[in-house]
């Protein structure tokens, strides 16, 4: 076959592929009104990615390995694209990890002093464990967490008071619960897992604040399980319709919570009625619960690991001001300003393990407030 014939065959194949892709996308719509008359619709290759993922998933090969690692028994895990999740857990702590942990510990102690000077009774950071830290047996052999790793260095550098390690209570609960504590196809813990973590966190807080009331043991009990479709990790593989998961319900759902949700800055009412689950807000949102167990104000700086925990937090404290921790501690973040203006009784963080070593946690509080707090402590002594 000469060069001319090869060129013609290549052009024919190219033209055929250019025609096939739009035809496949058109065939997949429900009706002609659903067709989007634009290039991104006609030449969308999602169907090919989905086909490849379905073909490779049974043999444990991820089509998006930077985001998703396929484990055993239907479990999916987050890959290294997000804060080097796997690499950070697989290796012993490097000297840089140890130094970073010390810097975070120094900053946390400084914030504790600063917050106390502003009338905050308690400051705590709860770390939501990565799924692989609680279910390592479902990870591939090569992805097993090391012991110790960077997270252990973090807790060594911050001590065992201000930073709350929830791995042990979750591992203990895992051995006794009838249902999983994390979703198989999602990065997050489920309602049972977050409730287990909240209960363990409450027990540690109670040691420093014994006057607080906490939900009864009945609230934390398993109520039911329901099959659901694949969640965020399955979606990364475009297999959310192909894979399944389990929704776990606990008796906290039966709490007759009465809440009002407000935009903190504008005072606009966003919701009234029962508990309304929310994503971590990028602007401060105040949730007031008229029938909470404690008439206390909590500034809660959280990420998505607080989503399923929010019902219990709002049932426990009458005023919960919520903001994503990114927005609180980033340069020019709002943590100090909210403490100054709102005067919370408690400041709690909920941060997933993979993000807990973010460099922003090394930033100390405003110097004036820090010096003021140090002076008061010196006078007290």
Per residue in 270-294, pLDDT (tens digit) is: 999 999 988 999 999 999 999 999 9
Given a cut of 80, whether residue 17 has pLDDT beyond it is: no
Task: Place 376 in a pLDDT band, splitting at 50, 70 and 90.
Answer: very low
**The pLDDT value given to residue 379:** 36
CA 116 vs CA 170, 288, 338: distances in Å = 30, 24, 14
Q: Using one digit for the tens of pLDDT, what is the confidence trace for 96-105?
A: 999 999 999 9
Task: Place 25 in a pLDDT band, splitting at 50, 70 and 90.
Answer: low
Mean pLDDT of 148-157: 97
Q: Using one digit for the tens of pLDDT, what is the confidence trace for 64-87?
A: 999 999 999 999 999 999 999 999
**The pLDDT value given to residue 118:** 97
**The pLDDT value given to residue 377:** 44
Among 15-19, 172-176, 297-301, 350-354, the minimum mean pLDDT is found in 15-19
Q: Using one digit for the tens of pLDDT, what is the confidence trace for 226-248?
A: 999 999 999 999 999 999 999 99
More confident residue, 40 or 291: 291
CA 248 vs CA 58, 178, 252: distances in Å = 26, 11, 12
Task: Place 53 in a pLDDT band, splitting at 50, 70 and 90.
Answer: confident
Given a cut of 60, whether residue 378 has pLDDT beyond it is: no
Mean pLDDT of 318-347: 97
Given a cut of 70, whether residue 369 has pLDDT beyond it is: no
Given a cut of 50, whether residue 181 has pLDDT beyond it is: yes
What strand order describes the sheet that includes 122-128? 163-165, 122-128, 346-352, 294-302, 317-324, 285-289, 259-263, 269-273
CA 95 vs CA 152, 153, 353, 363: distances in Å = 13, 10, 19, 20
Task: Place 344 in a pLDDT band, splitting at 50, 70 and 90.
Answer: very high
Given a cut of 70, whether residue 11 has pLDDT beyond it is: no
Q: What is the H or E stretch that residue 8 is in?
A: helix 3-27
**The pLDDT value given to residue 277:** 87
**Spatial CA neighbour of 317 closest among 345, 297, 333:** 297
**The pLDDT value given to residue 94:** 95
- Looking up tokens 């239907």 gives 74
Given a cut of 60, whether residue 338 has pLDDT beyond it is: yes
Cα 244 from Cα 182, distance rounded (Å): 14
pTM: 0.85
**The pLDDT value given to residue 380:** 40
Taking the mean position of all CA atoms in its chain, how far away is CA 151? 16
- Looking up tokens 């102690």 gives 109
Strands 294-302 and 317-324: parallel
What backbone torsions phi and psi does residue 366 show, to the nearest 5 degrees? -55, 135
**The pLDDT value given to residue 381:** 28
**The pLDDT value given to residue 122:** 98
């Amino acid at each position: 076959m000469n060069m001319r014939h090869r060129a013609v065959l290549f052009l024919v194949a190219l033209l055929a592929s250019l025609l096939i892709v739009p035809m496949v996308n058109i065939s997949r719509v429900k009706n002609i009104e659903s067709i989007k008359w634009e290039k991104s619709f006609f030449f969308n290759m999602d169907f090919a990615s989905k086909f490849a993922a379905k073909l490779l998933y049974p043999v444990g090969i991820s089509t998006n390995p930077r985001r998703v690692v396929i484990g055993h028994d239907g479990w999916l895990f987050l890959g290294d694209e997000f804060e080097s999740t796997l690499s950070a857990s697989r290796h012993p702590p490097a000297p840089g990890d140890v130094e970073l942990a010390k810097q975070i510990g120094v900053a946390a102690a400084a914030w504790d002093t600063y917050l106390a000077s502003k009338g905050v009774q308690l400051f705590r950071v709860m770390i939501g464990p990565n799924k692989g830290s609680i279910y390592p047996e479902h990870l591939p052999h090569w992805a097993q967490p090391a012991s110790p790793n960077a997270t252990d260095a973090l807790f060594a550098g911050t001590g065992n008071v201000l930073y709350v390690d929830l791995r042990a209570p979750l591992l203990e609960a895992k051995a006794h619960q009838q249902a999983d504590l994390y979703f198989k196809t999602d990065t997050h813990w489920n309602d049972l897992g977050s409730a287990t973590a909240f209960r363990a966190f409450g027990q540690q807080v109670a040691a420093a604040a014994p006057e607080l009331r906490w939900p009864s043991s009945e609230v934390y009990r398993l109520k039911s399980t329901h099959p659901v479709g694949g969640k965020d990790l399955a979606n990364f593989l475009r297999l959310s319709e192909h894979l399944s998961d389990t929704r776990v319900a606990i008796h906290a759902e039966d709490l007759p919570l009465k809440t009002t949700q407000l935009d903190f800055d504008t005072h606009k009412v966003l919701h009234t009625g029962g508990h309304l689950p929310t994503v971590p807000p990028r602007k401060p949102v105040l949730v007031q619960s008229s029938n909470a167990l404690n008439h206390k104000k909590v500034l809660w700086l959280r990420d998505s690991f607080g989503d399923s925990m929010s019902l219990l937090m709002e049932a426990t404290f009458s005023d919960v001001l919520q903001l994503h921790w990114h927005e609180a501690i980033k340069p020019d973040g709002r943590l100090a300003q909210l403490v100054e203006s709102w005067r919370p009784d408690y400041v709690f963080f909920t941060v997933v393990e993979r993000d807990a070593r973010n460099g922003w946690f090394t930033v100390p509080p405003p110097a004036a407030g820090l010096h003021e707090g140090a002076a008061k402590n010196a006078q007290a002594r």
